[in-house]
Amino acid sequence: MCKEICTEKKIKLFALDLDGTSLAPDGAFSPLMHLALQKAAENGIAVAAASGRALHALPDCVRRAPEIRYAITSNGAAVYDLQTSEKLCAYTLSPAAAEQVLQIMETEKKAFIEYTVEGQAYAPAEMVRAPEKFGRTAKAADYVRRTRKPSEYFFADARAHIGELDCIDAYCASKEAFEALRGCVQKIDGLYITSSFPNMLEISDARAGKANALQYLCRQLHIHIKETAAFGNADNDSAMLLESGCGIAVRSASPACKAAADFLTGDPQEDGAAKAMLQLMQNQKEDKI
């Protein structure tokens, strides 16, 4: 199926979602993924991480992989060249929209909330100290402590950066709270609203989104969007998979992500993304014969 779908145009760029897609269950790249990245470099294929994570929350395996030059971060709110640390583009929230979101968030006493500025995520100090009290799992709590800077005056600090916010996110303790919060935020104009995890509401400017960021990166690299293969597992990946030349979802992906994909591959514990990358490159070699 992959060969039938993905060889009409040569693949020149891989866009890899991280959590739940290309990262192994231990949060790193598997040996097979390292091999796939190496083969991509040998074949002249660019690789971009495409994540909901902020720049400074990217895992070490991404930052240290010489084959991954570009990073689409905060669900497309910013794109970076990892080799030079240059921010290539940014779609920050408008001050008016950000203020409306903050006003709504101030009433959410039980949601874990955060904002991102210049690639760094900030959360209320009490939430960084005890993420479990706000619905985060033990694994997520460890991640929060490692990657979020505590803010003692969260809303005042956010408003001090009102024109620089990449995104504002909230993790709700229940599905009901999530739906209620999303319903309020959806009434605000000029927003891109998505989710990478259940009960996680991720809010950025309407110009953001992984698909738009990938379009931007393609223009910079003089690559057609249909010469890309994109991998994902969640709602925030669906538009990127739909726009790419070859959209690949893992088997456990969300319904929206699966619907946007051209085909499915195995889950992270099965090295599905790496196997699909290797198969795509093999297909291209066979087409040249």
Q: Is 81 helix (H, G, I), strand (E, B) or coil?
A: strand
**Residue 8 pLDDT:** 59
Query: Residue with structure tokens 């950066």?
Result: 161
The residue ranking higher by pLDDT, 285 or 124, is 124
Together in a domain, 201 and 213? no
Together in a domain, 271 and 190? no
Q: Would the pLDDT of 21 be above 80?
A: yes
Q: Which domain holds residue 214?
A: 2-90+209-288
Together in a domain, 118 and 77? no
Of 205, 240, 256, the position where a domain reaches its end is 205
Together in a domain, 16 and 110? no
CA dist., res. 246 & res. 77, Å (int):
23
DSSP conformation class of 163: T
Of 180, 205, 230, the position where a domain reaches its end is 205
User: How many other CB atoms sit within 10 Å of the CB of residue 4?
Assistant: 10
Lowest mean pLDDT among 2-11, 62-71, 99-108: 2-11
CA dist., res. 158 & res. 115, Å (int):
7
Assign residue 58 the CATH number of its domain: 3.40.50.1000
Q: In the structure, what pLDDT confidence band is assigned to residue 2 with cuts at 50, 70 and 90?
A: very low
Together in a domain, 176 and 136? yes
Q: Would the pLDDT of 222 be above 90?
A: yes
Together in a domain, 160 and 201? yes
Residues 132, 138: contact at Cβ < 8 Å? yes
Average pLDDT of the chain to the nearest whole number: 94
Q: In the structure, what pLDDT confidence band is assigned to residue 289 with cuts at 50, 70 and 90?
A: very low
Number of domains in the chain: 2
Together in a domain, 22 and 157? no
Together in a domain, 24 and 103? no
Residues 206, 98: contact at Cβ < 8 Å? no
Burial of 7 (0-12, 13-18, 19+ CB in 10 A): middle
**Residue 96 pLDDT:** 98
Q: Would the pLDDT of 70 be above 60?
A: yes
Please give the single-letter amino acid code of residue 221. Answer: L
**Residue 110 pLDDT:** 83
**Residue 61 pLDDT:** 97
DSSP conformation class of 94: P
Together in a domain, 213 and 173? no
Of 154, 181, 205, the position where a domain reaches its end is 205
Together in a domain, 17 and 81? yes
Together in a domain, 131 and 192? yes
Burial of 93 (0-12, 13-18, 19+ CB in 10 A): buried
**Residue 53 pLDDT:** 97
Phi, psi dihedrals of residue 153, rounded to the nearest 5°: -125, 70
Together in a domain, 129 and 213? no
**Residue 242 pLDDT:** 97
Cα–Cα–Cα angle for 275, 46, 235, rounded to 5 degrees: 65
Structure tokens at 216: 């931007």
CA dist., res. 33 & res. 29, Å (int):
6
Q: Would the pLDDT of 185 be above 60?
A: yes
Assign residue 136 the CATH number of its domain: 3.30.1240.10
